[in-house]
Amino acid sequence: MVDAHRDPADLRFQDLFDEAVRLAQRRRWPSGQAPKDLGSTTRAVLEAAAMIADQVAFRLTQLPRFLRGPLLELLDLRPAPARAATTNLEFRLEVPVTEPVVVPRGARVTTRDGATVFSTVRDLRLGPATVVT
């Protein structure tokens, strides 16, 4: 599903096409009984629409920033408000533990180069694990 808050530079033909197919199937067959094949004509129209949208998004990213805002406003498109980045974290314990380990809320985690800092939004409980061979 295409996220409405994504930057146009991140949208690609395949994302746009997949979303168009999903929407077409839902609109034409709301009961969820959509056939796997939409038909060659419908598929060709959706491919053309996705290609045009892909090119518009590409051209939009080529505009200087000071022109992009007024153009989007003219088209009545508003940018999404800023929001914090999120990611999944993976913790690896170097030694086996028998008791749960708690990573407290607010613990700061950085990328390998230290340039990006994330903080945990809740306590994380890492349970004891056993190794099976």
Q: What is the chain's mean pLDDT, rounded?
A: 78
pLDDT 10s digits, 109-119: 888 888 878 88
Domain layout of the chain by residue ranges: 8-74, 84-133
Residue type, 91: F
Distances in Å between the alpha carbon of 10 and those of 17, 28, 78, 109? 14, 28, 17, 26
- Distance of alpha carbon 101 from alpha carbon 121, whole angstroms: 16
What CA–CA distance (Å, rounded) separates 10 from 65?
Answer: 16
What's the confidence (pLDDT) of residue 116? 78
Question: Is 58 within 8 Å of 16 (Cβ atoms)?
Answer: no
Indicate yes or no: pTM above 0.75: no
pLDDT tens for 10-51 read: 778 888 888 888 887 777 665 555 556 677 778 888 899 899
Note the pLDDT tens digit of each residue in 66-104. 888 888 888 887 777 888 878 777 777 777 778 888 889
Residue 101 pairs with which residues in a beta bridge?
126
Instruction: State what percent of residues in the chain have pLDDT above 70.
Output: 80
